Chain A
Amino acid sequence: MLFETILTYPATPEIFLLGMTCIVLLADLFIKQQEKKITYWLSQFALVGTAVLVLLLYNVPSTLLFNGSFIWDKTAALMQFAIVAINFFILIYAREYIRERKIPQGEYYLLSLFSVLGMLVLVSAYSLLTLYLGLELLSLPLYAMVALQRDSTECAEAAMKYFVTGALASGMLLYGLSMFYGATQSLNITEIAQVTSNLSSGQELMLIFGLVFIIAGVVFKLGAAPFHMWVPDVYQGAPTSVTLFVGTAPKIAALAMVVRLLIEGTPALVHQWQEVLILIAVLSIALGNVVAIVQSNLKRMLSYSAIAHVGYMSLGLLAATPDGYASALFYMLAYALMSLGAFGMLVLLSKSGAEVDKIGDLRGLNTRNPWLAFMLLLVMFSMAGIPPMVGFFAKLGVLEALIGAHMVWLATFALVFAIIGAYYYLNVVKVMYFEEPEIQYPIVNRPIINVAISVNCLMVLWLGMFPSGLIDLCRAAFAM
Chain B
Amino acid sequence: MNLAQIFTDLVFFSFAAILVGSALMTIISRNPVRSALFLVLAFFAATGLWILLEVEFLGLILILVYVGAVMTLFLFVVMTLNIDVEEQRSSFVRYLPFAIVIVAMLVILMVYVISPGHLNPSELTTTGGQPVNYSNTTELGMVLYTDYAYPFELAGILLLVAIIAAISLTFHGKGNNKTQNPDQQILIRREDRIRMVKMQGDKK
Contact = CB atoms under 8 A, between A and B. Distances in A.
Contacts of A110: 164
Q: How large is the interface on B (under 10, 10 to 19, 20 to 34, 35 or more residues)?
A: 20 to 34
A141 B158 CA distance: 9
B142 to A, nearest CB: 13
B154 A134 contact: yes
Interface string B85-118: 0000000000000000000000001101110001
B151 A209 contact: no
Contact of B148 (A18, A67, A121, A205): A67
Interface in B144-181: 147-151, 154-155, 157-158, 160-162, 164-165, 168-169
A206 B155 contact: no
Given A130-B150, A137-B161, A200 B123 contact: yes
B158 A203 contact: no
A154 interface: no
Given A136-B158, A205-B113, A206-B113, A111 B151 contact: no
Interface stretch (A142-150, A235-243, A400-408): A142-150
A66 interface: yes
Given A137-B157, A182-B124, A205-B119, A67 B147 contact: yes
A185 B125 contact: yes
A143 B166 CA distance: 11
B36 to A, nearest CB: 17
B120 interface: yes
Given A111-B164, A202-B123, A66 B169 contact: no
B150 A67 contact: yes
Given A140-B158, A182-B124, A200-B120, A150 B169 contact: yes
A141 B113 contact: no
A114 B118 contact: no
Nearest to A206: B113
A6 interface: no
Contacts of A143: 165
B168 A130 contact: no
Interface residues of A, number: 37
A46 to B, nearest CB: 15
A121 B114 CA distance: 33
B177 to A, nearest CB: 15
Contacts of A133: 151, 154-155, 158
| B125, B150, B164, most chain A CB atoms within 10 A | B150
A198 interface: no
A147 B169 contact: yes
A363 to B, nearest CB: 37
Given A133-B158, A185-B125, 12 more contacts: A18-B157, A69-B150, A110-B164, A111-B165, A114-B157, A137-B154, A141-B165, A143-B165, A182-B124, A203-B119, A206-B113, A209-B109
Interface of B: 109-110, 112-114, 118-120, 123-125, 147-151, 154-155, 157-158, 160-162, 164-165, 168-169
The 5 closest A-B pairs by CB, nearest first: A144-B165, A66-B150, A107-B168, A133-B154, A202-B119
Interface of A: 18, 25, 65-67, 69-70, 104, 107, 110-111, 114, 117, 121, 127, 129-130, 133-134, 136-137, 140-141, 143-144, 147-148, 150, 182, 185, 200-203, 205-206, 209
